[in-house]
Each structure stands twice: as structure tokens, then as C-alpha cells.
């Protein structure tokens, strides 16, 4: 039987980079709906064809890599409330976690060659973009 060490895991590849007015972690709202600005998603040339079919007004889910996150963190204060009890990071949306993948639902405001303008996005300038997925509109309550 193969162990985890025997398996070959694929490597994540960035498809682009966030261009934002948010330059410091302290400037970032905890969630996009809490005052996050518009931002540009600048795609790498070899992924531009993947934008075909997206339209202004579409809602999409972005997966990002929080490159400045503390990957050793397993417990944190929820919503940075230092008077609350420490909880496990998997019960929070903290960017500090073993695999600091960000999840953001945004609306497309503009499409230009090789880039998208979206809102709201609470990711720092320079954050790596891993994927863009359409928002599902089907009702999945029965799952």
C-alpha cells in the first residue's frame, strides 16, 4: 500500500497576481464585504484564454495564496478578538493556516486583455491568484 510520501503531488501554479491598493496586512478588512476595494487580477499570458466566456457582471469565486501568512498557526482568536477564546484555524477564515488559501466571492466590473477588475477583494497587492470559478446558482441544500 502506498503511503503519502510515495504519492506524487502536483504543484500549484499561479495563474496571475492581484493588483490592489491594499499594501499592508493591517489595511485589509477581514472580509470583502467589510469595505474591501476594487482590484485588478492580472493573468499570466499562458492563462488568458481561460477568461473566455466571462462577462462583466458575473460573480466568480477566486482562490488565492496568502503569501505573507503564518503557516505554523493552528489556533487563533476569531476575528482578531483577543478577549475571545483561542479556536482552531479550521473553524475561522483566518489567513494564517497550514495552507493559506484565500476564498473570495467577487463581481467582475471590467474585462481588459489579460485582466479582470473585480469587487470587493480583501487580498493584498501581490497576492497570488490560483483559480477563478463561476458562482453556482443551483440549490444544493439537499446534499
Tell me the DSSP string of 90-138: GGS--S-SSS-EEEEEEEEEEEETTEEEEE---PPTTPEEEEEEEPP-S
Domain encompassing residue 65: 13-134
Residue 136 binned pLDDT confidence (cut-offs 50, 70, 90): confident
Environment class of residue 39 by beta-carbon count within 10 Å: exposed (0-12), middle (13-18) or buried (19+)? buried
Amino acid 92: pLDDT: 84
72 falls within a domain: yes
**What is the spatial distance between Cα 21 and Cα 17, in angstroms, rounded to a whole number?**
13
5 falls within a domain: no
Mean pLDDT, rounded, for 97-124:
94
Kindly state the percentage of the chain with pLDDT values over 70.
85
1 falls within a domain: no
CATH number at residue 96: 2.40.30.70
Query: What is the number of domains present in the chain?
Result: 1
Residue (of 40, 98, 47, 13) closest to 89 by Cα position: 98
Q: Yes or no: say if 45 and 105 are a contact pair by the CB < 8 Å rule.
A: no
3 falls within a domain: no
4 falls within a domain: no
Residue 1 binned pLDDT confidence (cut-offs 50, 70, 90): low
Cell readout for 91 is 473553524
127 falls within a domain: yes
More confident residue, 42 or 81: 42
8 falls within a domain: no
108 falls within a domain: yes
Amino acid at each position: 500500500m502506498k503511503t503519502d510520501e510515495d504519492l506524487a503531488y502536483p504543484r500549484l501554479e499561479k495563474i496571475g497576481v492581484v493588483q490592489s491598493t491594499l499594501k499592508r496586512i493591517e489595511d485589509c478588512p477581514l472580509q470583502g464585504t467589510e469595505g474591501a476595494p476594487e482590484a485588478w487580477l492580472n493573468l499570466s499570458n499562458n492563462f488568458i484564454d481561460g477568461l473566455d466566456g466571462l462577462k462583466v457582471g458575473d460573480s466568480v469565486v477566486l482562490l488565492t495564496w496568502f503569501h505573507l501568512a503564518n503557516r505554523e498557526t493552528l489556533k487563533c482568536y476569531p476575528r482578531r478578538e483577543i478577549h475571545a477564546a483561542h479556536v482552531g484555524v479550521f473553524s475561522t477564515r483566518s489567513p494564517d493556516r497550514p495552507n493559506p488559501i484565500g476564498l473570495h466571492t467577487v463581481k467582475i466590473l471590467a474585462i481588459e486583455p489579460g485582466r479582470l477588475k473585480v469587487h470587493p477583494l480583501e487580498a493584498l497587492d501581490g497576492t497570488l491568484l490560483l483559480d477563478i470559478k463561476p458562482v453556482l446558482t443551483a440549490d444544493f441544500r439537499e446534499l
